[in-house]
């Protein structure tokens, strides 16, 4: 069955960096677009970044543009989110997601369980 397992979350000071990973299994990874979303306490889940099947196209929320970088390794069935210059407002549970077709910004089919990122001021 499809599995998406995030890792790499934790507690970091403002200005610091974290690298999230999402290991995928149970589907043909290279045939799926991948995305990262986040949900802060009391807020709706929001789009963070996405990457197309080949890795040739990436998309970012305005709030993370220039600070976060999404990448993928189709040989390792893994998608990454490099987060630099972290701010307290980046604190959230981060989820990776997968979909085979359509818009990279929404309506993903498969979701991981999430990893907590906490940025202290």
Q: Please state, in angstroms and rounded to a whole number, the distance separating the CA atoms of residues 50 and 65.
A: 12
- Its sign, for the CA torsion 11, 97, 38, 67, is positive
Q: Rounded to the nearest 5°, which phi and psi values hold at 106?
A: -160, 175
CA distance 84 to 76: 23
Q: CA-CA distance, 15 to 47, in Å (whole number)?
A: 21
pLDDT tens track for 33-74: 999 999 999 999 999 999 999 999 999 999 999 999 999 999
Q: Please, which residues bridge with residue 82 across strands? A: 19, 69
Q: Which pLDDT belongs to residue 53? A: 96
């Amino acid at each position: 069955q499809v599995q998406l397992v995030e890792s790499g979350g934790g507690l970091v000071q403002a200005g610091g960096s974290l690298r999230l990973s999402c290991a995928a299994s149970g589907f043909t990874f290279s045939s799926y677009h991948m995305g990262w979303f986040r949900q802060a306490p009391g807020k709706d889940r929001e789009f963070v970044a996405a990457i197309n099947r080949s890795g040739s196209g990436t998309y970012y929320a305005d709030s993370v543009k220039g600070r976060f970088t999404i990448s993928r390794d189709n040989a390792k069935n893994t998608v990454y989110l490099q987060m630099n210059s972290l701010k307290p407002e980046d604190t959230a549970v981060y989820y990776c997601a997968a979909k085979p077709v359509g818009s990279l910004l929404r309506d993903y089919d498969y979701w991981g369980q999430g990893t907590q990122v906490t940025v202290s001021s």
